[in-house]
Structure 1
Amino acid sequence: MAYTEWGDPANPRVLVCVHGLTRNGRDFDDLARALASEYRVVCPDVVGRGRSGWLVVKDDYQLPLYAADMVTLIARLDVPEVHWVGTSMGGLIGMLLASMPGNPIRRLVLNDVGPVIIAEAVRRIGEYVGMAPVFPDIDAAEAYIRAVSVPFGNLPDAQWRHLTETSIHPVEGGWAMRYDPGLGDSFRKTPLQTDVDLWPLYESISCPTLVLRGAQSDLLARETAEAMALRGPKARVVEVPDVGHAPTLMDPAQIAPIRDFLLEVR
């Protein structure tokens, strides 16, 4: 498993940032720059994405394996505790770890994900996972990423180009997405028919928790976010306007509440 690291490698304060389903650790470049003076920021590429290896058995792309990989990563970092920012899938991994007895997560940020996973949103995502073509050039790749990532909101051109350049790699005939197309196999093999209820997991979390919700999100319903403020760790909830699933955490206005939450003294 590859990861990108920011800040002083000797800093005992460690922030782990984990990306969404088809993304990679470079999504957090702006957040990492903003926090590198306070933290050693570690942004892994979950197996099957970015610069990490691909699994032979595609059915093994599951949360328990991802969580086990993160436990190994934290052991490699050799620190007793971490703060965690997780977008979508990365938030689910964080929830799973934070629910375990004796876990190392002391502050948890969940970016547009919670204990109710809406089946319709998962089916929408499954329509494009692993289906990307080989692109003749970077402009074609960017056009594709803009099309499948419309819920990210109205991003500046420079941010779309960054998301594109960090999400593709050269292959014979052009450029391809930097993730295993096999990630889409389980989506199409067993389409999700009903919403997933993870409330028992969430209610086992005891560390301070912040939830960011895209105001137009189809994955994290507003009523779920509101309930998260009342149950379990009683999360602080911040809604991000004009964004669906999920806030990219590239804009200073999205970074500010995360920085404030992570660095506040309690």
Structure 2
Amino acid sequence: MPFVHLADGQLHYQLDGPAAAPVLVLSNSLGTDLHMWDAQIPAFTEQFRVLRYDTRGHGQSLVSEGFYSIEQNARDVLTLLEALDIPKVHFCGLSMGGLIGQWLAINAGERLDKLVLCNTAAKIASPEVWNPRIDSVLREGQVAMQTLRDASIARWFTAEFAANQPAKVKALVAMLAQTSSRGYAANCAAVRDADFREQLGAIQAPTLIVCGSADPVTTPADGQFMAERIVDSKLVELHAAHLSNVEAGELFSRAVLEFLNT
């Protein structure tokens, strides 16, 4: 399995697609791993070298001590690109991955060609939401992750999709149940503390913002807020809840490819 060595552990990644094609990085949401993008790989690898990775605290990547920050997670991406000798990429991140993309576009914009921000916001929820979740996960460990698995269905998917596609839903929420409780709590803190509302104007990369019309976590209003402040941006709204790449898979892939190829 491919890993890049960071200062404090290993970051797991996967490369698919033609070696000579432009590189597209995919960054996972909180509580999932790189396989959340499986539905996109057949279409994306026709035109791109797709680089997926497990954000620290998730999947097969390191679970380091203490709370994390979005900057720390974004610097992991830069270390990954350096290790693979990739100077510039397209970047697509969903939810927490979208926060990572915002940090990179603001602070390391020279490394990005185009940016796709999916089901994310400049500021996601409030400490009143995150702190009780962090406390319960640290207190109850993997038992809390099982509880979160069941509660996540209504946030991640519309009721219609959950009823009609139980196998897809089960596969995604299983990722959450299997996520390290320490890693999850540490990344909850990273999301809690991230706030790019005053910095969005610094983003120069052409940006596609993808929203889910039924997303209760990062709403279309959050997407509109970013679109109004990122100069070169386009907003697309799909019929989906929080994991629009899964629920609106084909339409999602088509929108992203159309944007990257424009």
Trace 1:7-156 onto structure 2 (pairs within 5 A): 7-8=17-18, 10-55=19-64, 57-59=65-67, 61-100=68-107, 102-119=109-126, 122=130, 126=134, 133=142, 145-153=149-157, 154-155=161-162, 156=165
**Structure-1 residue corresponding to 2:185:** 184
1:239-265 CA distance string (max 9 Å, x none) = 12242x23244621222211211122x
* TM-score, normalised via structure 2 length: 0.79
Trace 1:219-230 onto structure 2 (pairs within 5 A): 219-230=217-228
| Distance change >3 Å, CA 35–CA 248, structure 1 → 2 | closer
| Distance change >3 Å, CA 128–CA 151, structure 1 → 2 | farther
Task: Could you tell me which runs of 5 or more consecutive residues in structure 2 were left unpaired when the two chains were aligned.
Answer: 1-10
Distance, in Å, in 1 between the alignment partners of 2:197 and 2:235 is 17
Identity %: 26
Deviation of the 1:161 alpha carbon: 3.7
The residue type paired with residue 5 of structure 1 is L
Kept after mapping to 2: 8 A contact 1:229/1:237: yes
**Structure-2 residue corresponding to 1:209:** 207
| Distance change >3 Å, CA 231–CA 30, structure 1 → 2 | same
Distance, in Å, in 2 between the alignment partners of 1:93 and 1:68 is 9
Runs of 4+ in 1 over 6 A off after TM superposition: none
Distance, in Å, in 2 between the alignment partners of 1:15 and 1:30 is 15
| Distance change >3 Å, CA 249–CA 24, structure 1 → 2 | same
| Distance change >3 Å, CA 206–CA 144, structure 1 → 2 | closer
**Structure-2 residue corresponding to 1:252:** 250
Aligned length: 244
1:159-217 CA distance string (max 9 Å, x none) = 1243256x27xxxxxxx6133435326858x996xx96422321111111011112133
| Distance change >3 Å, CA 200–CA 105, structure 1 → 2 | same
Deviation of the 1:30 alpha carbon: 1.1
Q: Aligned-residue CA RMSD in angstroms?
A: 3.1
| Distance change >3 Å, CA 147–CA 200, structure 1 → 2 | closer
**Structure-2 residue corresponding to 1:240:** 238
**Structure-1 residue corresponding to 2:171:** 162
| Distance change >3 Å, CA 242–CA 39, structure 1 → 2 | closer
| Distance change >3 Å, CA 14–CA 132, structure 1 → 2 | same
